[in-house]
Structure 1
Amino acid sequence: MPITARPLLAALLLPAGAVLPAAAQAPEPVAVTVTDKGCEPAALTVPAGRSVFRISNKSRRVLEWEILEGTMIVEERENIIPGFVQSLSATLAPGSYQMTCGLLSNPKGTLTVTAAATQAAGAPDPMALVGPLAAYKLYVMSEVDAFLGRTRAFTEAVKAGQIPQAKALYTEARRHYERIEPVASLFNDLDKSMDVRADDFELKEADPGFIGFHRIEKGLWADNSTAGLDPHADRLLADATELKRRIVDLTVPPAKMVGGAAALIEEVAATKISGEEDRYSRTDLSDFHANVEGSRKIFDLLRPLVSARDPDFVARTEKNFSRVEALLAKYRAEDGSFAPYDRLSERDRNALKGPITVLAEDLSTLRGKLGLD
């Protein structure tokens, strides 16, 4: 599908009535508390433009707080630990949104954004990002094509009862998904269907809502059986097909592309490093590597823009990427496969966590450097 500058440029600009406040006009934080039952308050109203939300986790589980427009994730803050408070900055156009509130079974909150009277200065130059966005869309399309093909082969092996083949294909399919997770996870319904974990439900593995990759993963590794997995395989393939359909028509939001470089690494540092991602198959290192690949792709596309503003940052971040890649390479065999994650000692995991955390912290400043915060 040809990609033109016009739809990409349109995505860089907020709809009429939206406001991009000047840097000096820092908004007052909006407090949101998430309990085991939902959000308090359950309804919020903010003016268009930049808002800062302070999310307090008073539930018993690590959670992510998302702002949704329909099924699309507009902004999110992941890995909020019980008892902690994290902030999320979001520039919102007028309209009605929803807020996720802990467990998937909890009711969603409502967020109303009202139009503001004036247009303030501070918007980034939209033309500067057109080229990187177009190149990234091509990369995402290539990866989603490969993802759909591998997922089709994976689900066919599951339905045929071919456990060894299905296990091999599981890792291959997820590799393509993890590279483009910042875009794939924009669609809240598909993300929760394909990549949900048992911890997102009160009944955990026994909950009927526990479906997708990790439900099948449990069957293949923990149960060593494909019994009862046919409906899950069919649903996963249907979701992968729908994901490709939506991405074809998607203009990638610039803030999501730029912020995705950090988001991919932050998730590894915050939660995946514990081994909670692929807890049955122990293929976590393959996911880590794919996350780093996807993050580096974004960084490489943005390198010319960022170099003009902060060459020292580019040099430092490149060094940090190389360090993380070298550490992961220690656990990779000649055939490209990675060691099972449970073979790594606590010392090995800590050796990974330090450089990954440093890389995440550097990449978290990318949006600000390009005027997208």
Structure 2
Amino acid sequence: MRHVHVLAAASAALVSLAALSACGKDDKGGAKGGAGAIEVTATDSSCDVAAKSAAAGAVTFKVTNKGSQVNELEILAPDGKIVSERENIGPGTGAEVTVQLSAGTYKVMCSAGMTGKGPTQALTVTGQGKAADPRLDQAVAAYRTYVAEQVDDTLSKATEFAAAVKKGDVEKAKALYAPSRVGWERIEPVAESFGDIDPKVDLREADLKSGEKWTGWHQIEKALWKTGSLSGEGPFADQLVKDLQTLKAKVGTASITATSMANGAKELLDEVATGKVTGEEETFSHTDLVDFKANVDGAQKVYELLKPVVQEKDAELASTLDTEFAKVQKLLAKFQKGDGYVSYDTVGAKDRKDLSDEVNALGEPLSKLAGVVAK
């Protein structure tokens, strides 16, 4: 779920990104900066994009956050869907996002506070770009299959979960809660691209705004672990299933490219850093490690699909990612209990720091994946 709070674990990773230079424009409206990157300056109320047009193909955006709030960059397709995004860009820091764009008019949005809303500027993309590597086309096709499988899995398990909720079976619903979220957590960046579904199914209580209706998994989570009663939860369970059915109907239309896959893998690691490692995602159930594992597995799946190309273009990066994924998975295995994981409230400060350090060690090379794929 998109979080608006920047936490210590995430900040450490973000500060390591070098602050980027201010934006400028040449006489033709193109971007100044190295390698033809388009520079974007974000503040709490503005989004200055240093180009109005770009050639089709791999387009790199270098964003600097000069505001006081955490920001995110979203690239929106002509139909309004999110093509790619980079979240958790802290004040005074920057990030680089490489996106594969075909011809069309896009919107570049800076969202202060990570609300999913904010000022935009149009970017017109022209031309055809170079022919795609057929291996990347194969990776995208395989990933679409994987995404569909994960949506089917989460819908199936959420339907079982909802049935237990409606029957008032607290213990069974508790047992089904975390497994029902695994498929969702593995492909959350794709699910988020549809905008309205994510806040309906995965909004945390801490992120509720005044007057906003709270629905989804976490609303039921609170009833299960905080109040211990499922009275009145039936409609929320039905709505959860309905919203996931909407996701299933829409997911085949998601805009997926090799670079959006790579950027999504980094987003999944950011999800771990800003919600799972800190224990804020599953405030009541403390099933954070199940989500943690699902996020890492989803990111690793993307890397494995893109690995043949990455290995050829940057063998050192491939080796580093192999090593870092293995380290994170090994550390996670330490907390396994039966078919799941220990309650996260039993994980001490040292172990949490070890988890955070490993996530950050993986996140840094993973942030380079999109750029290498786009070479």
Distance 1:27 1:235, change over 3 A: same
Alpha-carbon shift at residue 144 of structure 1 (Å): 1.1
Counterpart residue number, 1:47: 53
Alpha-carbon shift at residue 234 of structure 1 (Å): 2.1
Alpha-carbon shift at residue 347 of structure 1 (Å): 0.5
The aligned amino acid for 1:54 is T
**d(CA) in 2 for partners of 1:55 and 1:228?**
44
Q: Is the 8 A contact 1:22 1:120 kept in 2?
A: no
1:364 to 2:371 alignment: no
Counterpart residue number, 1:256: 260
Counterpart residue number, 2:215: 211
Alpha-carbon shift at residue 271 of structure 1 (Å): 3.9
Counterpart residue number, 1:165: 172
Per the normalisation by structure 1, the TM-score is 0.80
Counterpart residue number, 2:189: 182
**d(CA) in 2 for partners of 1:185 and 1:107?**
13
Q: Which runs of 5+ in 1 are unaligned?
A: 1-19
Counterpart residue number, 1:268: 272
Alpha-carbon shift at residue 338 of structure 1 (Å): 0.5
Counterpart residue number, 2:301: 297
2:42 to 9, 32, 44: 32
1:340 to 339, 343, 350: 343
The aligned amino acid for 1:156 is A
Counterpart residue number, 1:355: 358
Distance 1:369 1:166, change over 3 A: same
**d(CA) in 2 for partners of 1:53 and 1:95?**
20
**d(CA) in 2 for partners of 1:65 and 1:115?**
18
The aligned amino acid for 1:326 is K
1:89 to 2:69 alignment: no
Per the normalisation by structure 2, the TM-score is 0.80
Q: Is the 8 A contact 1:44 1:111 kept in 2?
A: no
**d(CA) in 2 for partners of 1:66 and 1:115?**
16
Q: Is the 8 A contact 1:54 1:87 kept in 2?
A: yes
- How many pairs are equivalent? 340
1:149 to 2:152 alignment: no
**d(CA) in 2 for partners of 1:65 and 1:310?**
26
Residue by residue, what CA displacement relative to the aligned partner does 1:228-287 show, whole Å, maximum 9, x if unpaired? Answer: 323322221111001111123445222221222222123212443111111111100000
The aligned amino acid for 1:315 is S
Distance 1:343 1:110, change over 3 A: same
Q: Is the 8 A contact 2:271 2:295 kept in 1?
A: no
What is the root-mean-square deviation in Å for CA atoms of aligned residues? 3.1
Counterpart residue number, 2:74: 66
2:139 to 132, 139, 161: 132
The aligned amino acid for 1:323 is K
Q: Is the 8 A contact 1:28 1:52 kept in 2?
A: yes
Matched residue SS, 2:280: coil
Alpha-carbon shift at residue 153 of structure 1 (Å): 1.1
Q: Is the 8 A contact 1:47 1:94 kept in 2?
A: no
Alpha-carbon shift at residue 181 of structure 1 (Å): 1.6
Alpha-carbon shift at residue 105 of structure 1 (Å): 7.4
Residue by residue, what CA displacement relative to the aligned partner does 1:103-144 show, whole Å, maximum 9, x if unpaired? Answer: 68796433322456xx597x4734230111121122111111
Counterpart residue number, 2:26: none
Q: Is the 8 A contact 2:87 2:114 kept in 1?
A: no
The aligned amino acid for 2:82 is I
Residue by residue, what CA displacement relative to the aligned partner does 1:207-235 show, whole Å, maximum 9, x if unpaired? Answer: 43332111221221122222332332222
Distance 1:153 1:256, change over 3 A: same
Alpha-carbon shift at residue 202 of structure 1 (Å): 3.7
**d(CA) in 1 for partners of 2:128 and 2:115?**
39
**d(CA) in 2 for partners of 1:296 and 1:348?**
22
**d(CA) in 1 for partners of 2:112 and 2:277?**
22
Q: Which runs of 5+ in 2 are unaligned?
A: 1-29
**d(CA) in 2 for partners of 1:57 and 1:153?**
45
Alpha-carbon shift at residue 351 of structure 1 (Å): 0.9
